[in-house]
Structure 1
Amino acid sequence: MTHTRTKAAAPTSTTRELRLPALEIQQGRGRRLYTFAMDGKLVPEIATVSRVRRDEDALLHGYQRPEVLAHVAAIRKYIESDASPLLPNAIVIAFDERVRFEAAPSASDSPDYVRTGTLIIPVVDGADLDRPGFIVDGQQRSAAIRDANVDAFPVSISAFITNETADQRSQFILVNSTKSLPKGLIHELLPGASGALPTPLRVRQLPATLLEGLNFNDRSPLNRMIQTPTNPSGVIKDNSVLRMLETSLSDGALYRFRNDEALPNTGYMLTALFNFWTAVAAVFPDAWNKPPRKSRLMHGAGIISMGYMMDAITHVRDQGDGIVEVEEYTADLKSIADDCHWTDGEWTFSDGVIRRWNDIQNTPRDIKRVADFLQVRYRNR
């Protein structure tokens, strides 16, 4: 769950209804899209923005990023100009089931996938979350129209009706995935998305779910340490963790729990991850939970290289009958601890190359160099 809106609630503070001419368009398997026009100044009366955030229990709420003030100001200036402003793109709104459609008599020659009629939208006085709609796309345009010094500005609206926040979130991801939406926000929203997603997003959904568990489960040694839109103070870049997870899911320690013919066993995956990173924290306490500029263990090169170590140790330790325990990971990591220089000193690699600890960069070459070096040391011992 993401926000605590009551399903199809009928608030007592409703004062009036908007009745707007609309088209109902049937798409896919029984999905209906509503297209209509209204004064953009009235949009805030029927729809609000669901800001992405986490509550005290680390549950994710909402899906929208904050307003980009410079973008809003630029659109507002355009709307107020004498340049005959035109905003052709529709604002997308997800309504709850308080909104209803009354169909008009259909003409005999009308396509069977479209009906004309009236969309009836309650206008609610009170808190923003009492509004029947959430803006899925177009929050910057809506804010600019709201603030613009004009009497009215009609806009096109595309809407759908659902009480499921996961459905709203999926549509938000789909609408914005080809735009300059921060990847971190998409990754944070993916675990709670539902329905059909494009293959590239579907592939990322499982790593994003594991990242959420690592970052917001109280049992996790990485609790609140991964930087995301709702946890900006984290010291580890979310993309580094995702790359580590994707590699292990592909052919490493987490692969055996994927269960490609059914649902992946995320519980076992998280237990394995918790065990390994608990061991890492115990073996390298001086490098743990520090900014990457002070510890290359928390740097992309360190996170991804240690992910390869998790895969290597698991391959040696796991005989297919259970999870590798913290003590086992700890013992094996201690065997290569003296070869690691996360916070000071120099790395002396097998090919004779010597690099200062803070010269290691988050590049494929440096990651491979560190990962290969540590795995060779481990296997030799």
Structure 2
Amino acid sequence: MATATMKKRTTAKSANKNVKVLRLAAIEVKQGKNRKLYSFAADGKSLHDFCTISRVSRQGEEGLEGYQRPEVMAHINQIRAYLESENPLLPNAIVVAFDDTVKFKPDPGKAGTDSPFSRSGVLEIPIDNSIIEEDKPGWIVDGQQRSAALRDARISGFPVCVIGFLAEGLEEQRQQFILVNATKPLPKGLIYELLPSTGGKLPMALQRRRHPALLSERMNFDEDSPLHGMIRTPTNGTGVVADNTILKMLENSLTDGVLYLYTDIEDQLKLLKHFWSAVAEVFPDAWGLLPRKSRLMHGAGFISMGFLMDTIADRNRKTKSLSKELFKKELMPLKEVCSWTEGSWEFDGGNILKWNEVQNVPRHIQLLSSHLLGMYRELVWKK
């Protein structure tokens, strides 16, 4: 889809006779089997003539768009003040992903004089001020804050180093964005939200989180999900349950619980929707509230209920269908012993905590999980 869109943009641009071409001296560097990088200098004030910053957003039910984080104004203002100082220096290159309207023309006069890995020439970048921002030929993968500071700084011009590469579509741009930013202080939630729509090879730690992230995305945006719109992410700031809480619950079940037994994502989602729909109906007064008002929607409560989901599924593993009705029947006896929004929890060993004293820490998660599983065995399993 992304590649097809880029082709349409390419055709539209090429048909526009008013397009100006910016020609910049560049060095082409070969990497891998068939990848090429282009190193060149450009006036930082003109970057936005041919580059856009694609911020992460969602358009209705159309899915994730873009891949950049929102601008951080404090950081931009610091860079801007530095650029307006007496003798500034920006040694780090800005990384830009280009579409195929950008062309490299090698210098014929330098044939045979370049190294096996590089050659000099001219990079030709089309500039069309009539097109919308998203259709510009370049996307800034790394250097958003610097480019914004250069744009806003009260200076006449400032040359910067730029590294460009040709990208086949949004998926590759997202992959490069994650790889570039994974080791930087980038919000983890942003990386996790990008994972489901990112292809290619990623670090092992991110590979392991890709499937839980996809399940979380589906639970958040499927219309028939009991958690529809309720998982808080960088593009859904009004959600009540933290995305990391959902991921932790899913990872536990995928590793050692009921989700491990299913290989098809639709079967996994069906079970998850049945269980959490049952939870919502058994505990309606605690469902959908902010964590400070309901420990059911809190990290400790959600993760603990995930362990209970696995236990109920294990007890009923011979049942043909783990339906919502079955989960409701199994959960109902626990309704009177759960203090999600008021009262106190009476844990084993004389540990008593007020409902809102339960925190999202390993000790409290263990206490709450053991309590719920113990009550389930006493009130349901043994009967």
Same fold (TM over 0.5): yes
Q: Given the alignment, which residue of 251, 255, 261 partners 2:260?
A: 255
The equivalent residue for 1:361 is 359
Of 130-139 and 343-352, more deviation after overlay is shown by 343-352
2:147 & 2:259 partners in 1: Cα distance? 44
Letter in 1 for 2:251: E
Q: Does 1:181 align with 2:186?
A: yes
SS in structure 2 of the partner of residue 324 of structure 1? coil
Q: Given the alignment, which residue of 10, 13, 28 partners 2:12?
A: 10
2:290 & 2:309 partners in 1: Cα distance? 22
1:110: how far off? Answer: 3.7
1:332 & 1:4 partners in 2: Cα distance? 49
Letter in 2 for 1:9: T
The equivalent residue for 1:371 is 369
Contact 1:24–1:32 (8 Å) recurs in 2: yes
1:58 & 1:273 partners in 2: Cα distance? 23
The equivalent residue for 1:294 is 293
The equivalent residue for 1:346 is 344
Q: Does 1:267 align with 2:288?
A: no
Letter in 2 for 1:248: S
Contact 2:3–2:169 (8 Å) recurs in 1: no
Q: Deviations over 1:334-365 (max 9, x none)?
A: 12222211011111113222211111111100
Contact 1:272–1:323 (8 Å) recurs in 2: no
The equivalent residue for 1:94 is 97
Quickly say closer, same or farther: Cα 1:69–1:2, change in 2 above 3 A. farther
SS in structure 2 of the partner of residue 85 of structure 1? coil
SS in structure 1 of the partner of residue 154 of structure 2? coil
Contact 1:80–1:150 (8 Å) recurs in 2: yes
SS in structure 2 of the partner of residue 285 of structure 1? coil
Q: Deviations over 1:7-57 (max 9, x none)?
A: 233322742101111122222232221111111111000000101110111
Map 1:1-381 onto structure 2 (within 5 A). Answer: 5-7=5-7, 8-11=10-13, 12=16, 14-82=18-86, 84-105=87-108, 107-108=111-112, 110-126=114-130, 127-257=132-262, 259=263, 265-319=264-318, 323-380=321-378, 381=380
Of 4-13 and 371-380, more deviation after overlay is shown by 4-13
1:9 & 1:272 partners in 2: Cα distance? 46
2:74 & 2:5 partners in 1: Cα distance? 31
* Aligned alpha-carbon RMSD (Å): 1.7
Contact 1:13–1:124 (8 Å) recurs in 2: no
Quickly say closer, same or farther: Cα 1:73–1:5, change in 2 above 3 A. farther
1:4: how far off? Answer: 8.9
Q: Deviations over 1:163-210 (max 9, x none)?
A: 310110111111111111111111111111111111111111111111
1:61: how far off? Answer: 0.4
1:281 & 1:2 partners in 2: Cα distance? 38
Contact 1:2–1:61 (8 Å) recurs in 2: no
Contact 1:208–1:242 (8 Å) recurs in 2: yes
Letter in 2 for 1:22: A
1:114 & 1:206 partners in 2: Cα distance? 39
Letter in 2 for 1:99: V
Of 13-22 and 169-178, more deviation after overlay is shown by 13-22
Letter in 1 for 2:179: L
Q: Deviations over 1:131-174 (max 9, x none)?
A: 11111111111111111111110001111112310110111111
SS in structure 1 of the partner of residue 163 of structure 2? strand
SS in structure 1 of the partner of residue 12 of structure 2? coil
Quickly say closer, same or farther: Cα 1:213–1:2, change in 2 above 3 A. farther
1:107: how far off? Answer: 4.8
**Greater helix proportion:** 2
SS in structure 2 of the partner of residue 9 of structure 1? helix
Contact 1:96–1:132 (8 Å) recurs in 2: yes
Contact 1:13–1:125 (8 Å) recurs in 2: no
Quickly say closer, same or farther: Cα 1:323–1:251, change in 2 above 3 A. farther
Of 107-116 and 286-295, more deviation after overlay is shown by 107-116
Contact 1:2–1:60 (8 Å) recurs in 2: no
TM score, norm. by length of structure 2: 0.93
Letter in 2 for 1:316: R
2:201 & 2:321 partners in 1: Cα distance? 32
Contact 2:54–2:67 (8 Å) recurs in 1: yes
Q: Percent identity?
A: 49
Contact 1:37–1:157 (8 Å) recurs in 2: yes
Could you tell me which runs of 5 or more consecutive residues in structure 2 were left unpaired when the two chains were aligned. Answer: none
Could you tell me which runs of 5 or more consecutive residues in structure 1 were left unpaired when the two chains were aligned. Answer: 260-264
Contact 2:3–2:168 (8 Å) recurs in 1: no
2:17 & 2:57 partners in 1: Cα distance? 27
1:112: how far off? Answer: 2.4
1:323: how far off? Answer: 4.8
1:70: how far off? Answer: 1.2
